[in-house]
Structures are given as structure tokens and as C-alpha cells.
């Protein structure tokens, strides 16, 4: 009954899982300011008790005592001053968000909003404004002649607001620099890999499929999606535990980040205990929503990085695109180090219980570099830097991935018109290809590419 009285914007938080709710709340503007306002209310109570109840003016030097009239003037003046700084801060915030949306990617807006420095700056202004407003309300009707705690606290908070304003402007201008944006996006993706994917998946992965109950698989039962939307979050731990109890195997037909329609096939299961399964139980372990989230979707972070490069190419800013390629290359190392490319998740008895869609390192390379090369087209400078980045990746990862990196680079070169490329562009591009060929062991293949650009007459 109570839930029906709540507005939809608030009700949605109660319908989320604990993990998703924490993530969504941290991505809102009111999260940190709310705590600062509570702290301000507490601070108001402390200072009023010191001045009105404990009367600390009796125990302080005359220098710290301020006349009541002057105190009221001070507080009333700072109400307008702090409100003005808050207005300038919000205006700067809107400018930053507009710039991000137009020049980089609209999906990056939440990253700036969720940044702790942004949240703390807004919290300071809101908390300080609430403090001076409440203090002015309480000291206006008292008959005290002097105050100590109230004027000192008010001056301190006004000073804090002025410093915070300068700090926020510096933070906004620094955050908007492309190298900082790309580094932030890369670290965000690495955090997903290190803290989320490793915790949720890696401890359960196994390369050996073992007994997949192939005879039972012929009688597999499908579970349809109960709503349309993006697959946002899966509770793999609970799913594996429940599948073990029910003695079944579960196979996914979509992966995190995929968009599915209602009644599309979501899961299928089979096994000795498949006759009396509570399918609703497993559906509740999969969150499906109207938007993509980064909680378990590493590819969304790659999309953001790729969009920065694509926007940079559209704005004739090759240096920003090159910086993005370097960050993407570093992210590929994290993917290779921490993700095991096997679809099998096992329980504590080493019996496979969940089968995911097959993923490969090639799919991550495509998500990262493939989108950029599509929009780079005949931009030979960017293609050269991309081949250089692939060579750097190849030098740092396992040799088993070299063939795929070489094929990706060759496929990229196949779409270059050799007759319309400048001579120096051709030279530097072939140097980058030769470096990649030396690392991946494809020197003979490199000579074929060289002859394509310099055919023997």
C-alpha cells in the first residue's frame, strides 16, 4: 500500500536489487548533498546549544564575542552570498554537462555527476546554505546581546564556500581535458573488471566443461523474458547455488548489455531436477531495465572510450583520438590479464551449472578498436596510430592472441586505397605494420602488404 503512494521516480529504487540501488543512487546529484544537509542541521543544533544553552560567551575573550545585531547582519548577508556561489556552481555544472554531451558523449554525463569531487562540492554549498538559513531563523527572535559560536561558524563556512567554488571550477576545467576524460573512462572500466567481473565470474569459471548432461539437454526447457529491456545485472552466485540445489544446468541465450524483447528466449535449463523448477526464482536473479549500466558490462566502458575518439574525429581533433587509442590499448591488457574466456561456471563441487555465451578476446578488440576504424575510414594518421597501438598490445600479451591482432590489422589495411594515400603516410603506416609483423611473427605476410603499396612494375 505504501509503495503505491510513492512517485515512480522514488518507487523504482525500492524495486531494484541492493547492488543496483546503491549504484543508481551514487549516480544522482542529490546523493552527497543530502548527507551534507543532515550534517548542517546537526551543526546548527551544536552552535545554538553552545551560544543559547551553555552560553560560552562567559568563558571566551571579548575579542571573540560579536554583537547580536552584527551577527544577524552577517548571517543575512552570507545567505545571499552563498546562494550566489551555489548558482554560479550550478551554472558551471550545466555548461560542463552541455559540453560533454555535444563534444564527447552523452553517456559520460553520469560519470561527471557521480564523481566524488563534484558531489562533495555541491554538498558543501547546499549544506552551508541550509546552515546559515536555519541559524538566521533561530537567532532572529532571541534576546541575547552577544554570540560566539554562531558568527565564528558562519564565517568559517563562508570561507569554505569561497574555497570550494574555486576548487570546483578547477575540477570542472581539469575533468574536461581529454586526456583526463579518457583516463577516467579507462579506470572506470578497469574497476568493473577488477572488482565486479573477477568477483562475480572469475572464481566460478572453468575451462573444462566436464559433464554437461548431454542426454538431458535434448529435453531442455526454455525460460522467456518477462519484460523488454537491457540485461543489466545477473546474480551469478545465487544462480549457481540454486542450480546446484535443483540439480540442473542453465544456459544463457543473451549476455550482459544485450537488448531483448518480452517473450524472447532468455534461459534454458536441463538436468535430473528439471521437472519441478520455480522459473520465477531464476528470472528474479536477472535484472532487465530500460537502459544499459556499467555494473557488469565492460563493453559499455569501451563504447564510451570509442565515442570520444569518434567525436574527436568529427571535430577534427586527431590528438584526442590518438590519446583514446592509447587508453584503449592499456584497457586491452587488463581484459587479457583478468578475464578468462570460457563460458562455463561451476559450483564448489566443480560441476558446471551455468553456461554463458561464448566470448573471445577478439570481440573486445572489435568493440574497442573496430568502431573507431569504421569512422576513421581514410584517415591514414589514425589508422597508423591504431596499428601502432595493436603492436604495443601484441608486445605485452600472450602469443596466443597474436594471430587475431594481426588479422584485425590486415583487415583494416584491406580497405585503404593505395592510390590516394600520401607518400609519407604510406611510409609511416608500413613501419607500424612491420613492427606488428615482427612481434606477431608474420614477416613474410608483411612483404605481401608492402608489395601491395609498392607494386613491382
* H runs (alpha helix) in 397-441: 402-413, 423-440
Q: Which triple of cell numbers denotes residue 200?
A: 562475480
- For the cut 80, the answer to whether the pLDDT of residue 217 exceeds it is yes
64/209 Cα distance (integer angstroms)? 76
* Conformation bin of residue 234: beta by default, left when phi > 0, alpha when psi is -120 to 50: beta
- For the cut 70, the answer to whether the pLDDT of residue 101 exceeds it is no
What share of the chain has pLDDT > 90, as a percent? 19
340 belongs to a structural domain: yes
Same domain, 33 and 104: yes
415 belongs to a structural domain: yes
Same domain, 337 and 277: yes
* Conformation bin of residue 293: beta by default, left when phi > 0, alpha when psi is -120 to 50: beta
Q: Which triple of cell numbers denotes residue 319?
A: 590528438
Cα-based distances in Å from 366 to 43, 299, 301, 359: 54, 10, 13, 12
What was the pLDDT predicted at 456?
66
Same domain, 383 and 351: no
What was the pLDDT predicted at 100?
65
Same domain, 140 and 168: yes
Q: Between these two residues, 325 and 454, which has the higher pLDDT value?
A: 325
Backbone angles phi, psi at 437, to 5 degrees: -65, -40
pLDDT mean across residues, the chain: 82
E strand segments, 34-108: 66-67
46/134 Cα distance (integer angstroms)? 12
Give the model confidence (pLDDT) of 29-86 as tens digits: 777 888 999 999 999 899 888 877 777 777 777 776 777 777 778 888 888 888 787 7
Same domain, 35 and 117: yes
Pairing of strands 352-355, 344-346: antiparallel
Same domain, 128 and 261: no
Average pLDDT over residues 124-148: 80
What was the pLDDT predicted at 102?
66
* Conformation bin of residue 247: beta by default, left when phi > 0, alpha when psi is -120 to 50: left
What was the pLDDT predicted at 32?
85
Average pLDDT over residues 432-450: 91
Domain CATH code at residue 274: 3.90.1170.30
What was the pLDDT predicted at 335?
83
Give the model confidence (pLDDT) of 186-201 as tens digits: 777 777 777 666 777 7
Q: Between these two residues, 153 and 146, which has the higher pLDDT value?
A: 153
CA atoms within 13 A on the CB side of 59: 6
* Conformation bin of residue 259: beta by default, left when phi > 0, alpha when psi is -120 to 50: beta
Average pLDDT over residues 120-131: 87
What was the pLDDT predicted at 249?
93
What was the pLDDT predicted at 438?
93
The residue with cell 532468455 is: 266
Give the model confidence (pLDDT) of 225-238 as tens digits: 999 999 988 888 88
19 belongs to a structural domain: yes
Of 85-99, 156-170, 244-258, 319-333, the one with minimum mean pLDDT is: 85-99
Of 2-11, 59-68, 219-228, 341-350, the one with minimum mean pLDDT is: 2-11
Average pLDDT over residues 168-172: 84
The residue with cell 574527436 is: 312
Q: At 12, is the pLDDT very low, low, confident or very high (cuts 50, 70, 90)?
A: low
Pairing of strands 221-224, 229-234: unpaired
- The total number of residues written for the chain in this structure: 457
The number of domains in the chain is: 3
The sheet carrying 229-234 orders its strands as 259-260, 229-234, 286-289
Same domain, 28 and 121: yes
426 belongs to a structural domain: yes
Give the model confidence (pLDDT) of 259-303 as tens digits: 999 999 999 999 888 888 888 899 988 988 888 877 777 777 788
Which residues touch 429 (CB under 8 Å, ≥6 apart)?
Answer: 380, 383, 384, 387, 413, 416, 421, 453
Same domain, 222 and 160: no
What was the pLDDT predicted at 387?
94
SS3 call for 113: helix
What was the pLDDT predicted at 180?
78
Same domain, 32 and 111: yes
Q: At 3, is the pLDDT very low, low, confident or very high (cuts 50, 70, 90)?
A: low
368 belongs to a structural domain: no
SS3 call for 4: helix
What was the pLDDT predicted at 6?
59
Residue 117: Cβ-neighbour burial (10 angstroms; 0-12, 13-18, 19+): middle
179/255 Cα distance (integer angstroms)? 31
Residue range(s) defining the domain that contains residue 172: 2-176
Same domain, 344 and 413: no
186 belongs to a structural domain: no
How far is residue 159 CA from its own chain's centroid? 33
Q: Between these two residues, 416 and 327, which has the higher pLDDT value?
A: 327
What was the pLDDT predicted at 248?
92
Same domain, 151 and 263: no
372 belongs to a structural domain: no
What was the pLDDT predicted at 138?
79
197 belongs to a structural domain: no
What was the pLDDT predicted at 222?
92
Cα-based distances in Å from 132 to 72, 77, 350: 10, 10, 62
What was the pLDDT predicted at 9?
55
- For the cut 60, the answer to whether the pLDDT of residue 14 exceeds it is no
Of 219-223, 335-339, 438-442, the one with minimum mean pLDDT is: 335-339
What was the pLDDT predicted at 24?
64
What was the pLDDT predicted at 8?
59
Query: Which of 281, 230, 280 shows the shortest CA–CA distance to 256?
Result: 230
Give the model confidence (pLDDT) of 354-376 as tens digits: 999 888 888 889 888 988 988 88
Q: At 116, is the pLDDT very low, low, confident or very high (cuts 50, 70, 90)?
A: confident
What was the pLDDT predicted at 21?
66
Same domain, 209 and 354: yes
260's enclosing H/E stretch is strand 259-260
Amino acid at each position: 500500500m505504501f509503495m503505491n503512494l510513492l512517485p515512480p521516480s522514488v518507487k523504482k529504487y525500492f524495486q531494484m536489487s541492493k547492488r543496483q540501488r546503491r549504484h543508481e543512487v551514487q549516480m544522482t546529484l542529490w546523493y552527497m548533498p543530502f548527507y551534507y544537509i543532515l550534517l548542517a542541521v546537526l551543526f546548527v543544533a551544536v552552535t545554538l546549544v553552545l551560544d543559547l544553552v551553555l552560553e560560552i560567551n562567559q568563558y571566551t575573550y571579548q575579542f571573540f564575542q560579536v554583537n547580536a545585531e552584527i551577527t544577524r547582519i552577517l548571517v543575512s548577508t552570507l545567505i545571499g552570498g552563498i546562494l550566489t556561489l551555489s548558482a554560479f556552481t550550478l551554472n558551471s555544472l550545466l555548461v560542463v554537462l552541455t559540453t560533454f554531451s555535444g563534444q564527447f558523449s552523452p553517456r559520460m554525463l553520469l560519470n561527471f555527476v557521480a564523481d566524488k569531487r563534484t558531489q562533495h562540492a555541491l554538498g558543501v554549498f547546499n549544506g552551508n546554505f541550509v546552515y546559515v538559513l536555519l541559524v538566521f531563523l533561530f537567532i532572529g527572535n532571541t534576546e541575547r546581546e552577544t554570540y560566539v559560536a554562531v558568527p565564528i561558524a558562519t564565517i568559517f563556512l563562508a570561507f569554505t564556500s569561497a574555497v570550494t567554488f574555486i576548487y570546483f571550477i578547477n575540477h570542472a576545467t581539469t575533468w574536461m581535458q581529454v586526456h583526463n576524460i579518457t583516463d577516467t573512462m579507462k579506470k572506470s572500466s578497469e574497476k568493473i573488471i577488477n572488482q565486479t567481473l573477477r568477483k562475480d565470474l572469475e572464481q566460478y569459471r572453468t575451462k573444462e566443461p566436464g559433464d554437461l548432461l548431454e542426454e538431458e539437454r535434448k529435453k531442455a526447457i526454455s525460460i522467456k523474458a518477462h519484460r523488454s529491456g537491457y540485461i543489466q545485472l545477473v546474480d551469478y552466485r545465487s544462480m549457481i547455488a540454486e542450480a546446484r540445489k535443483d540439480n540442473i544446468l542453465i544456459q544463457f541465450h543473451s549476455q550482459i548489455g544485450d537488448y531483448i524483447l518480452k517473450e524472447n528466449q532468455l534461459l534454458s535449463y536441463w538436468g535430473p531436477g528439471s521437472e519441478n523448477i520455480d522459473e520465477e526464482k531464476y528470472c528474479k536473479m536477472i535484472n532487465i531495465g530500460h537502459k544499459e549500466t556499467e555494473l557488469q558490462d565492460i563493453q559499455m566502458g569501451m563504447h564510451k572510450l570509442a565515442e570520444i575518439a569518434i567525436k574527436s574525429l568529427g571535430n577534427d581533433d586527431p590528438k584526442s583520438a590518438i590519446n583514446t587509442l592509447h587508453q584503449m590499448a592499456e584497457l586491452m591488457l587488463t581484459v587479457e590479464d583478468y578475464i578468462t574466456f570460457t563460458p562455463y561456471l561451476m559450483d564448489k563441487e566443480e560441476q558446471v551449472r551455468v553456461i554463458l555465451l561464448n566470448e573471445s578476446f577478439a570481440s573486445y578488440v572489435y568493440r574497442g578498436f573496430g568502431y573507431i576504424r569504421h569512422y576513421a575510414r581514410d584517415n591514414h594518421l589514425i589508422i597508423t596510430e591504431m596499428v601502432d597501438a595493436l603492436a604495443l598490445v601484441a608486445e605485452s600479451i600472450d602469443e596466443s592472441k597474436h594471430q587475431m591482432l594481426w588479422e584485425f590489422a590486415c583487415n583494416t589495411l584491406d580497405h585503404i586505397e593505395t592510390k590516394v594515400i600520401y607518400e609519407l603516410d604510406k611510409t609511416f603506416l608500413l613501419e607500424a605494420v612491420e613492427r606488428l609483423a615482427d612481434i606477431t611473427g608474420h614477416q613474410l605476410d608483411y612483404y605481401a602488404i608492402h608489395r601491395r603499396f609498392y607494386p613491382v612494375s
